Amino acid sequence: MRREELTEKILDIKRANGWTWKHITQEIGGVSPILIVGALLGQMKLVKPLAKKAAGLFGLSETEERMLNEVPYRGTPMPPTDPLLYRFYELVMVNGPAWKALIEEEFGDGIMSAIDLETEIERQPHAKGDRVRLMISGKFLPYKYYGNEQGIPESGLRED
* pLDDT tens per residue across span 51-87: 999 999 999 999 999 999 999 999 888 888 999 999 9
CA dihedral 143, 149, 152, 153 (to 10 degrees): 40
For residues 78-98, average pLDDT: 92
CA–CA distance, 25 with 2 (Å, rounded to integer):
23
Sorted by sequence, the CB contacts under 8 Å of residue 19 that are 6+ apart come out as 13
Match domain 83-142 to its CATH number in 3.90.650.10, 3.40.50.1820, 3.40.50.1000, 3.30.1160.10: 3.30.1160.10
Residues catalogued as catalytic: 87, 90, 113
Residue-wise pLDDT for 111-149, tens only, equals 999 889 899 999 999 999 999 999 999 999 998 888 888
CA–CA distance, 6 with 8 (Å, rounded to integer):
5
Q: Considering the domain 3-68, what is its CATH architecture?
A: Orthogonal Bundle (1.10)
Q: What is the pTM of this model?
A: 0.83
**Domain ranges in the chain?**
3-68, 83-142
